[in-house]
């Protein structure tokens, strides 16, 4: 991608010495990822089934259950929906979802290197919750539509997503809409999928949480990402102390902000932020 205003031999290059940009693992490149990306760019979303095991889902449930104490403060958060913020500061149980190679493989194709994690949440939709208002996730970047996405998101089914229990509702191809178009009677898709699966969609794709008409809760994990030159929704540099960051994978350290967008965005005292962990 052409970088506007580039300075020859400076802008866009990795100038670091000790802490070079991380190179993607081989698992982040495959024919499956290429096909998923084709679907993503055509439909605005892609559903990928059975990415994590039943035992991983159960572990996430057990570790998150004691942390889910409060319901939402408004109808958008969900008055019958429990949300856990600052998840990376409270548990390590969803780290593998944030840096999963099938998801980062899509991100590698979508954004420039050293893209960031924008926010992470655990979301538990309780019985009787109404449907969430349709929205698109990168709307706070107030750049007119139609435009390329500036964000993207994964939503992981920790419980089965069903027609009845609040499966995420997506409007196919809505990533192509201009800024004057809003959801009305368009065709919608419910992200029905077994536990351990994920739906990944563009930041410009209209979607919303579904209505929970069942008698059981529906647990999910979401990770949102953004281009490296944009502000994250979640301020990980204040939330996560250095000891916590040292426990993260190299990929996750980079995602939360211990990385550089060439030539110098993200520096600390003129140096790479990873030096703070020495």
Q: What is the 3-state secondary structure (H, E, C) of 20-51?
A: CCCCCCHHHCCHHHHHHHHHHHHHCEEEECCC
- Amino acid 20: pLDDT: 73
pLDDT at 1 exceeding the cut of 50 = no
Q: Which residues of 35-58 are buried (b: 16+ CB within 10 A; e: fewer)?
A: ebbeebeebbbbbbeebbeeebbe
Could you tell me which residues are beta bridge partners of residue 135?
A: 207
Better-predicted residue by pLDDT, 9 or 236: 236
> Which of the four pLDDT bands, split at 50, 70 and 90, describes residue 162?
very high
- Amino acid 264: pLDDT: 85
């Amino acid at each position: 991608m052409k970088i506007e205003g580039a300075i020859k031999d400076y802008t866009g290059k990795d100038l670091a010495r000790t802490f070079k940009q991380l190179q993607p693992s081989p698992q982040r490149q495959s024919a499956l990822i290429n096909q998923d990306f084709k679907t993503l760019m055509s439909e605005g979303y892609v559903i990928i089934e059975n990415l994590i095991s039943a035992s991983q889902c159960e572990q996430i449930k057990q570790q998150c259950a004691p942390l889910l104490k409060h319901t939402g403060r408004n109808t958008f958060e969900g008055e019958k929906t429990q949300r856990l913020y600052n998840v990376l500061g409270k548990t390590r149980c969803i780290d593998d979802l944030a840096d999963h190679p099938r998801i980062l493989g899509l991100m590698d194709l979508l954004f420039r290197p050293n893209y960031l994690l924008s926010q992470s949440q655990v979301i538990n939709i309780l019985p009787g919750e109404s449907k969430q208002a349709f929205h698109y996730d990168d709307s706070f970047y107030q750049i007119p539509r139609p435009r390329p996405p500036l964000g993207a998101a994964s939503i992981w089914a920790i419980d089965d997503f069903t027609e009845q229990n609040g499966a995420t509702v997506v409007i196919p191809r809505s990533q192509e809409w201009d800024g004057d178009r809003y959801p009305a009677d368009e065709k919608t898709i419910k992200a029905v999928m077994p536990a351990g699966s994920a739906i990944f969609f563009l930041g410009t794709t209209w979607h919303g949480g579904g209505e929970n008409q069942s008698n059981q809760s529906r647990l999910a994990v979401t990770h949102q990402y953004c281009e490296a030159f944009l502000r994250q929704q979640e301020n990980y540099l204040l939330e996560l102390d250095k000891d916590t960051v040292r426990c993260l994978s190299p990929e996750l350290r980079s995602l939360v902000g211990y990385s550089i967008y060439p030539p110098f965005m993200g520096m600390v005292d003129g140096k790479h932020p990873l030096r703070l962990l020495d």
